[in-house]
Structure formats: structure tokens, C-alpha cells
Structure 1
Amino acid sequence: MRYSQDHKAQTYQRIVKEASARFRRDGIGATGLQPLMKALGLTHGGFYAHFKSKDELVETALRAAAEESSARATETFAKPDPLASFIDMYLSKTHRENPDAGCPLPTMSAELGQRGEPSAITDDRVQALLSRMSSALGEPEAEDKSVMMLSSLVGALLLSRAVQDPALSDRILETVREALKRDIPA
């Protein structure tokens, strides 16, 4: 049975969306193609009608995750007091508890760096955030300060997800959030 181009495009988007969520939640290595396709009600062999390899899917899904995250950041940076709003959103319990819908940097940074396979998507996402943060800071050392702040945000989120004790996890988010907000010029 042949499917329409529209059906194929919709299936492609479903695969990308599900992979994007799973890569952010479970990691790239832990996300198998067979369980991914099964969750969508598709066959493993059907994957290859859409992608040449898992690596191609990884690039596509992480780009989609970065675009989704970028759209959320754009909304946050449009608010009054944009940097404080971004810090609050990034180091929130909601973001911690929903990695499948959150920023892909914690997963990308940890897993791709560990595998020795850096991605241009990571570079693009980091540069975009640093630029927004530097603009919001608007001070002479804004670029260096933005690097420190972004590193603290990603590290604190990653660490808060990795500890078992809920009180410690909350403390990590709260402590880093408040310290970063103190560094924002009035």
C-alpha cells in the first residue's frame, strides 16, 4: 500500500517529535530505534523510509529540540526583566521535571561531549543564548559573564536532575537561581 506524500511528511514529523523528546529525556544512546518506532505504532524497517541512519535522526531531532527551546527563550526574553525571567524559567521545577520538553543542552552537552562527537547544533544553541544573555546584561564584561551564567544554568539543571534527594535538588535550583540573579545589573 502506497501512502500519500502528506502522510509520509506527517509520519516524519511524528518520528522527529518523539525522538526529540526521548533524546532529551533518556539520552541518545539509550534511545533505541525499535522502541521509538514501536511507541509510534510503526515498524523498525519503516524508519529507513525516512532516515538513512540514527545519526541523521539525531541531528534532525536535536535541531527540532533546539528550535523549540529557542522559541521558548524568545518568549521569555521578551518579558520585562528578561534575564531574571530566563533564569527563573530555566531553573524551575517544571523544567527540571520535564526534560523531554526542555532545553536540549544538558543532554547534548553531556552525551555528545562524552562520545567525542560535538555538534554544530550545540554551537548554534550556545551562541544564540550567549548573545541574548549578553544583550540583556548590557555591560562591558557581558560576554564573559554570559558564559559563566549559561554554564551555571546548564550545570545546575543537570545536577538537580541527577540527585535523588528532592530537597537537595530544589536547593541546587534555588541557590544557583538566586546567585545568578544577584549578578544581574539593576
Structure 2
Amino acid sequence: MSYTPRHKEQTRQRILQAAAKLFCSNGFDRVTLTQIMKKANMTHGAFYAHFSGKSSLYEAAMQFATSNGFWARNDKQTENNETHLKALVTRYLSWSRSDKEHPSPLEFLVTDAAHKEEKVRQAYQACFDSLVDRLAGILKKRGSQEAEALAEETVVSLVGTVAIARSFAQPLQSDFLKRAQERIVNRLNSGLKNSEPVEG
């Protein structure tokens, strides 16, 4: 049976969306192709029509998650001051939320950053770099004189906070996240002293 290019692309997108959700929640090693295809409601045969293996899917899924993540979808709003940096920080630190459509790249397990497979490490690094670049662009537009360094510091803080918070039970988890949010927002404010404040 022959499928149209549109159908093939829709199939690929379904696989990517399912994979992104699972990888973002569980990391590379704890997700199987069977789980991904079950979530996509498709067969293994459909998988191999689009991807050569799990690593190549991970790479594409990370690009998909980054391109469709919260910061990516709100760049224009952020530039127009409708969404503030404080809201972005708050959103990313709410890692336990159920964002069914667009999983956050900051939900990736940090273990993927040091994975034994180079392709997995490179995909994680590319996603991290993309987040830093996006945030640096926002900070530059806000007048930051240290946009790149501040963006990298912020993303590192967010990733580390999410990774550590996963191990805490309530109410420690909520308290930890609240303190981290205050620290990160204060640091962003200090880097934007002569420009628009983070709060809004």
C-alpha cells in the first residue's frame, strides 16, 4: 500500500511526539521502542520506515521537543512583554506538570548528558545549547550586557534544580523549587539591572 508524503510526515510526527514525551519523562535508557510505538498507537514496522534505530529517534525527538517547547512557542510573546522571564522560569520549574502536547526539554534526565552512546550525548548537548541560545537572545533584547553567560548559568541552574527536585518528597520538593525559583529570578534581575525587570 502506497502512502502520500503528507501521511508519511504525519506518521513521523506522531512517533516523534510520543518519543519526546517518554524520553523527556524517563531518559534514554528507561524507554523502549515498544513503549514509544504503543504510545503512538503504531507498529514496529512503521518505526523502521522513519528511523534507523533508537539513537536516531532520540536525536530527532530532542530536536522536536526543543522546537516545540515552551520557550520556543513563546519567543514572540516574550519579545512583546506578554510573557515574562519570571513566568518562563516558573513554568520550567513546574516539571511535575502534565504538558501533554509539549514536554519541556528541561525534563530530560541529566544522565543522558553523560550517556555511553555519543549520539545520545550529542543530542542532549545540542538541545542544551539551543535552550541557552534562545534565552541569550531574549536577554539581549532586554538589554543584558552578559546575555550568553547569564543564559548558560540560568539553564544550568534550571536543569540541576529539576534533576535534584525529582528525588525529594513533598513538602520538601515544593519548598526547594520555590527557593530555587527565587534565586534564579534574583540572578536574572541582577543581570538586567539597567534594563527591563524580570517581574511583570
Q: Deviations over 1:62-114 (max 9, x none)?
A: 1110011142341562435732222222223xx33337643213416431334
Unaligned 5+ runs, structure 2: none
Match of 1:88 among 90, 106, 112: 90
- Mapping for residues 3-22 of structure 1, pairs under 5 Å: 3-22=3-22
Residue 49 of structure 1 is matched in structure 2 by 49
Residue 182 of structure 1 is matched in structure 2 by 186
Counterpart check, 1:125 vs 2:131:
yes
Q: Which amino acid aligns with 1:107?
A: F
Q: Distance in 1 between matches of 2:178 and 2:32?
A: 35
Query: How many Å apart are 1:46 and its aligned residue?
Result: 2.5
Q: Distance in 2 between matches of 1:140 and 1:4?
A: 50
Secondary structure in structure 1 of the residue aligned to 2:96: helix
Query: How many Å apart are 1:44 and its aligned residue?
Result: 1.5
Q: Distance in 2 between matches of 1:81 and 1:51?
A: 36
Q: Deviations over 1:112-134 (max 9, x none)?
A: 33435233333223222233235
Secondary structure in structure 1 of the residue aligned to 2:166: helix
With over 3 angstroms needed to count, the CA separation of the structure-2 counterparts of 1:17 and 1:81, relative to structure 1, is closer
Query: How many Å apart are 1:14 and its aligned residue?
Result: 0.8
Query: How many Å apart are 1:174 and its aligned residue?
Result: 0.4
Q: Which amino acid aligns with 2:170?
A: P
With over 3 angstroms needed to count, the CA separation of the structure-2 counterparts of 1:13 and 1:174, relative to structure 1, is same
Q: Which amino acid aligns with 2:136?
A: L
Q: Deviations over 1:140-186 (max 9, x none)?
A: 344333322221122112222232x1211101110011122223034
TM-score (norm 2): 0.76
- Count of residue pairs brought into register by the alignment: 182
With over 3 angstroms needed to count, the CA separation of the structure-2 counterparts of 1:46 and 1:129, relative to structure 1, is same
Residue 106 of structure 2 is matched in structure 1 by 105
Q: Which amino acid aligns with 2:137?
A: S
- Over aligned residue pairs, what C-alpha RMSD do you find? 2.6
Unaligned 5+ runs, structure 1: none
TM-score (norm 1): 0.81
- How many percent of aligned residue pairs carry the same amino acid? 29
Q: Distance in 1 between matches of 2:151 and 2:41?
A: 43
With over 3 angstroms needed to count, the CA separation of the structure-2 counterparts of 1:49 and 1:83, relative to structure 1, is same
Residue 36 of structure 2 is matched in structure 1 by 36
Q: Distance in 2 between matches of 1:157 and 1:76?
A: 25
Residue pair 1:130, 1:150 contacting (<8 A) in 2 also = no
